[in-house]
Chain A
Amino acid sequence: MALLQIAEPGQSAAPHQHRLAAGIDLGTTNSLIATVQSAVARALPDEEGALLLPSVVRYLPGNGIVVGREAQDSQAEDPENTIVSVKRFMGRSLTDVKEAAGLPYRFVDAPGMVGITTVAGERSPVQVSAEILTALRERAEVSLGGPLAGVVITVPAYFDDAQRQATKDAARLAGLTVLRLLNEPTAAAIAYGLDKAAEGTFAIYDLGGGTFDISILHLTKGVFEVLATGGDSALGGDDFDHATAEWFCAQHGLQGLAALPPGAQRSLLAAARKAKETLSSHETAAMSLPGADGAAQHAILSSTQFAELGAPLIARTLSATKRALRDAKLTINDITGVVLVGGSTRMPIARDAVRALFERDPLVDIDPDQVVAIGAALQANVLAGNSGGDEWLLLDVCPLSLGIETMGGLVEKIIPRNSTLPIARAQEFTTFKDGQTAMSLHVVQGERESVAHCRSLARFELRGIPPAVAGSVHIRVSFQIDADGLLSVTARDQASGIEAHIEVKPTYGLADAQISAMLQDAIGSSKADMLLRSLREAQVDARRMLDATEAALGQDAALLSAQEISTIHQAMFRVGDMLETEAPLDELRLATAVLGAVTDTFAARRMNASISQALAGRTMDSLV
């Protein structure tokens, strides 16, 4: 029997109509799931009351799979088959995974995305992530008493198309309907209700178990734009534990953490972690390491000592933060709010450092482990239609312009940069040659005017266009980006209705650093680009005129005297030469104009000839 929850006034759902929706924070180290009940978002615990699910999957011989804490505990004994931090491999090829050499996994270089050989066979990061998502889905369904209608899953702001697509694929594999993907910093901002503000610039400082991310967001009219992201993918709470463990070893004259037997390493790290957590609310913490002979070694760690141990690590987060601010061309004074995310921001040394840097108190009221999942849950609740229709629908923007290649290697932008998502835009194109029956479409991303300087996303062909005169065919090319930032492109011949379609799943997308580099590149070279564009357009015009003249000469050379034909040929050669040698714009334009002038009379005669041909043998009566 289902139990009832309290609804907002006038919004109590009709029976069987409340759509269960959840937000999922699919983290590198830990994952969790949250939902909105009685107008309050909360994270859902497992049977043992734990909210965090370690993002660890262990494959057993046979078809057994263990996910979460139990898998994490077996990491040391079965490293090859226990996959941790799989998020780092999502949508990445083997060459992208720089740290691969230092990891215990047997990697397989599969096309598009790296694979991992386990005792259960080859597994892709998508499948491993799907196991984590399945565990969360089951937890939610037991807890909420029904199947989930949809989920919002968070991804780092710097995730590119390939990584986002891989995340969506994992969700589908786990039997989840993805309402949308949401940027993690944006989710944290939503959890604090920052999206209700009219405008603002926010810094989201996310120090998790094994990663550090800093994001600068700008909010205008309900749209969050990611201005800059930065961080350190190998810096997190675990590093503080290591530093503390090394300190303990030094205190007792031990050689260091690595020199201890694996069992002692684990218990020392656990003791270090416990001491770190104790120091968040106490001045001192006791640590002890049981020795093999039964005698334990002890140490007392003070918060001052811990602050010294952590200082170099905190300094690294601060320099990444300053770099992100510089990238966004902002100063500390431009920031209107700071949000702390990730369990490691509970450490007073992290909070103090952030407060000192930004000269303001960071937002810390919501549990930093849960804040991203809670923001996602709020968004999921709105998208599932459980709250009123006047609620916000949060929007993101596309980071780079999208367009297609046109003749001459130019880019025709169809969706401009910073358009709010979702968006659909269409533009008409036509054929270049007479009788052209196929059209090759090249989808590119970037701000530059020439294809060579943009990034190629996909190519596809529209075939079976009925032959017609160049320029008379109308091909409508529609670009659509859904709320997750995933692109689909359709080309359709308006006359015959034939259609070709592609979902853009680039084999690997752009990192945020590449995006900002491409943007700067475009700004720096816009003048050169405009010149190049004009030249290419002139070249395309010239080539079209050459083709047309040639075709006309083939049909109606009889209308011209030998002298006239030779003049036209000369003008054609001149234009052809210039195309070949990439002559400057002015000269090419002049030569094209000359060709136009010398063929003027020819065109007039052809027109007259075709009219008299059409009229031949008819009386005046039949024409009226």
Chain B
Amino acid sequence: MSVSLTPAAARHVEKSLAKRGSGIGLRLAVKTSGCNGFAYALEFVDSTNADDECFETHGVKVIVDPRSLGMLAGTELDFVREGLNEGFKFTNPNAKANCGCGESFAV
């Protein structure tokens, strides 16, 4: 199982990395916090750890640590525009419940 990006998400990551001027890819992680137990984290990556898993979709490197991968396997990350707001949205088959804010979930 892997973690993937939609073409729109990949394009936006590429653009953000270019604007930032440095970084090798995007890190997806799960942190134990938030109102529903777990929370997603999205970060730029400057250096990887030895045990990180690396996936490449649409030319963008997605880096996930092994602990998070268990809860993210099969996740697709999309970039959407909702009215004036735009940002990333997770479609995670492992999540059983999402909180209203979308930033945390339960498995």
B43 touches A3 (CB 8 A): no
| Residue in A3, A9, A37 whose beta carbon sits within 8 Å of that of B89 in the complex | A3
Contacts of B65-101 to chain A: CB distance below 8 A: 80, 82-90, 98-101
B42 touches A3 (CB 8 A): no
B103 touches A2 (CB 8 A): yes
- A15-B34, A39-B20, A145-B85 as given contacts; A5 in contact with B102, CB under 8 Å: no
B85 touches A143 (CB 8 A): yes
B88 touches A6 (CB 8 A): yes
Q: A296 on the interface (CB 8 Å rule)?
A: no
A7 touches B44 (CB 8 A): yes
> Which residues from chain A contact B98 at a C-beta distance below 8 Å?
1
Chain A 128-157 against B: per-residue CB contact (8 Å), 1 yes, 0 no?
000000000001001111000000000000
- A12-B43, A40-B20 as given contacts; A3 in contact with B35, CB under 8 Å: no
B84 touches A14 (CB 8 A): no
> Which residues from chain B contact A292 at a C-beta distance below 8 Å?
none
In the complex, A8 Cα to B35 Cα: how many Å?
Answer: 23
B43 touches A15 (CB 8 A): no
In the complex, A14 Cα to B90 Cα: how many Å?
Answer: 16
Q: In the complex, what's the smallest C-beta–C-beta distance from B14 to chain A, in angstroms? A: 12
A15 touches B104 (CB 8 A): yes
A38 touches B34 (CB 8 A): no
B41 touches A16 (CB 8 A): no
Q: In the complex, what's the smallest C-beta–C-beta distance from B31 to chain A, in angstroms? A: 7
Q: A47 on the interface (CB 8 Å rule)?
A: yes
Chain A 5-30 against B: per-residue CB contact (8 Å), 1 yes, 0 no?
11111111011100000000000000
Q: B39 on the interface (CB 8 Å rule)?
A: yes
Majority secondary structure, A binding face:
loop
Q: B2 on the interface (CB 8 Å rule)?
A: no
- A14-B39, A15-B33, A144-B85 as given contacts; A9 in contact with B101, CB under 8 Å: no
- A3-B85, A143-B84 as given contacts; A9 in contact with B45, CB under 8 Å: yes
Q: In the complex, what's the smallest C-beta–C-beta distance from B32 to chain A, in angstroms? A: 10
A8 touches B44 (CB 8 A): yes
Residue of B nearest to A39 (CB): B20
B33 touches A14 (CB 8 A): yes
B16 touches A3 (CB 8 A): no
A40 touches B19 (CB 8 A): yes
B89 touches A4 (CB 8 A): yes
Q: B11 on the interface (CB 8 Å rule)?
A: no
Q: A45 on the interface (CB 8 Å rule)?
A: yes
Residue of B nearest to A3 (CB): B87
Q: In the complex, what's the smallest C-beta–C-beta distance from A3 to chain B, in angstroms? A: 3
In the complex, A222 Cα to B106 Cα: how many Å?
Answer: 45
> Which residues from chain A contact B87 at a C-beta distance below 8 Å?
2-5, 37
B88 touches A8 (CB 8 A): no
Residue of A nearest to B47 (CB): A9
> Which residues from chain A contact B83 at a C-beta distance below 8 Å?
142
In the complex, A47 Cα to B103 Cα: how many Å?
Answer: 25
Q: In the complex, what's the smallest C-beta–C-beta distance from B91 to chain A, in angstroms? A: 12
In the complex, A6 Cα to B27 Cα: how many Å?
Answer: 9
In the complex, A37 Cα to B84 Cα: how many Å?
Answer: 14
Q: B40 on the interface (CB 8 Å rule)?
A: yes
> Which residues from chain B contact A4 at a C-beta distance below 8 Å?
40, 42, 87-90, 102-103
In the complex, A40 Cα to B86 Cα: how many Å?
Answer: 14
| Residue in A10, A15, A47, A144 whose beta carbon sits within 8 Å of that of B35 in the complex | A15
A2 touches B84 (CB 8 A): no
| Residue in A3, A14, A45 whose beta carbon sits within 8 Å of that of B31 in the complex | A14
B102 touches A3 (CB 8 A): yes
| Residue in A3, A8, A38, A139 whose beta carbon sits within 8 Å of that of B82 in the complex | A3
Residue of A nearest to B89 (CB): A3
Residue of B nearest to A143 (CB): B84
A11 touches B89 (CB 8 A): no
A15 touches B101 (CB 8 A): yes
**Interface core residue of A14, A16, A38, A145 (most chain B CB under 10 Å):** A38
Chain A 105-142 against B: per-residue CB contact (8 Å), 1 yes, 0 no?
00000000000000000000000000000000001001
Q: B13 on the interface (CB 8 Å rule)?
A: yes
Q: B46 on the interface (CB 8 Å rule)?
A: yes
Residue of B nearest to A8 (CB): B44
> Which residues from chain B contact A14 at a C-beta distance below 8 Å?
31, 33-34, 39
In the complex, A45 Cα to B82 Cα: how many Å?
Answer: 14
Residue of B nearest to A13 (CB): B41
A7 touches B43 (CB 8 A): yes
In the complex, A279 Cα to B74 Cα: how many Å?
Answer: 53
Residue of B nearest to A42 (CB): B19
Residue of A nearest to B45 (CB): A9
B34 touches A6 (CB 8 A): no
In the complex, A544 Cα to B29 Cα: how many Å?
Answer: 75
In the complex, A145 Cα to B100 Cα: how many Å?
Answer: 13
B43 touches A9 (CB 8 A): yes
Q: In the complex, what's the smallest C-beta–C-beta distance from A531 to chain B, in angstroms? A: 60
Q: B26 on the interface (CB 8 Å rule)?
A: yes
Q: In the complex, what's the smallest C-beta–C-beta distance from A321 to chain B, in angstroms? A: 32
> Which residues from chain B contact A9 at a C-beta distance below 8 Å?
27, 43-46
> Which residues from chain A contact B46 at a C-beta distance below 8 Å?
9
Residue of A nearest to B102 (CB): A1
Q: In the complex, what's the smallest C-beta–C-beta distance from A193 to chain B, in angstroms? A: 11
In the complex, A40 Cα to B90 Cα: how many Å?
Answer: 22
| Residue in A1, A12, A37, A142 whose beta carbon sits within 8 Å of that of B101 in the complex | A1
A5 touches B88 (CB 8 A): yes
Q: In the complex, what's the smallest C-beta–C-beta distance from A470 to chain B, in angstroms? A: 63
Residue of B nearest to A146 (CB): B101
> Which residues from chain B contact A5 at a C-beta distance below 8 Å?
42, 87-88
A11 touches B101 (CB 8 A): no
Residue of A nearest to B16 (CB): A38
Chain A 29-43 against B: per-residue CB contact (8 Å), 1 yes, 0 no?
000000001111000
A selection of 24 A-B contacts at a CB cut-off of 8 Å is A1-B82, A1-B102, A2-B87, A4-B103, A5-B42, A5-B87, A6-B16, A6-B44, A6-B88, A7-B44, A10-B43, A14-B31, A14-B39, A15-B33, A15-B35, A15-B99, A16-B35, A16-B103, A38-B16, A39-B20, A142-B83, A142-B84, A143-B84, A144-B85
- Which chain B residues have a beta carbon within 8 Å of chain A's beta carbons? 13, 16, 19-20, 26-27, 29, 31, 33-35, 39-46, 80, 82-90, 98-104
Top 5 A-B pairs, shortest CB-CB distance: A3-B87, A12-B41, A15-B103, A1-B102, A15-B34
